[in-house]
Amino acid sequence: SQKIEQNSEALNIQEGKTATLTCNYTNYSPAYLQWYRQDPGRGPVFLLLIRENEKEKRKERLKVTFDTTLKQSLFHITASQPADSATYLCALETSGTYKYIFGTGTRLKVLA
Amino acid sequence: DAGITQSPRYKITETGRQVTLMCHQTWSHSYMFWYRQDLGHGLRLIYYSAAADITDKGEVPDGYVVSRSKTENFPLTLESATRSQTSVYFCASSDIIGGGASETQYFGPGTRLLVL
């Protein structure tokens, strides 16, 4: 069956370090992969999209990689700040469906 | 204000009652989605709509009904609420860009529903 896995355990890192979050999937052939940020009590907010033919995408302090062979995406936040503390969700859109499948999210806490 | 709104934000109801959650977007996006979010399950797609009068099931559609008579509105109805439908419900919208894929989904603030 189709499955998306994100580390369910919270990730704690020190301010200024690089946070790396992982999204693994099985039995999918995603055309697009997205990362969202969700703060407590609020809806997810879109951060980055990467296509299956792209290896890497950057936006300010954020970087996403997409390895279709490993079936994995990595999400990096460089020079992390306490304000980056949130839950980060990955979402996959399978080819032609326009439907999104979300992972359960990883909670990131950046310690000052 | 422009954007995507949901109402009510909080709702308490009893088992067996009908409940309708409202979603409204001002962007004229083609696609709209309803998700529920539960601990341990993440966001799960209930129903989605590609345009007015076009809807389709998602991963967990049982017990829910949707309609889309206007592009900007996408109400979700629980015909006979059950305790298992206690959850946080999110509406989202997106548009189709370029090569035919939606670039991003814009989420509403959510409705917290408690079924007693």
Answer whether B52 touches A (CB < 8 Å).
no
DSSP string, A79-99: S--GGG-EEEEEEEEETTT--
DSSP class of residue B26 equals S
Task: Test B42 with A34 for CB contact under 8 angstroms.
Answer: no
What is the reported pLDDT for A30?
81
Contact A89 B43 (CB under 8 A): yes
Query: Phi then psi for A82, rounded to 5 degrees?
Result: -55, -30
Query: What is the CA A18 to chain-centroid distance, rounded?
Result: 14
Interface of B with A in 12-31 (CB under 8 A): 31
pLDDT tens-place string over residues B94-107: 886 554 455 688 99
Residues on chain B touching A103 (C-beta within 8 angstroms)? 42
pLDDT tens-digit series, residues A46-97: 999 998 889 899 999 999 999 989 999 999 999 999 999 999 999 988 766 6
3-class SS at A16? coil
- Say how many C-beta atoms besides its own lie within 10 A of residue B113's C-beta: 20
Q: Which residue, among A32, A98, A101, would best test binding to B if mutated, counting the most B CBs under 10 Å from its CB?
A: A98
**Residue of B58, B62, B64, B66 whose CA lies nearest to B23:** B66
As a 3-state breakdown, chain A gives helix, strand, coil percent values, each rounded to 5, of 5, 60, 40
d(CA B110, CA A13): 29
DSSP characters over B70-111: STTB--EEESS--GGG-EEEEEEEE-EETTTEE---EE---E
B84/B11 Cα distance (integer angstroms): 15
Residue B1: band (very low, low, confident or very high) from pLDDT cuts 50, 70, 90: low
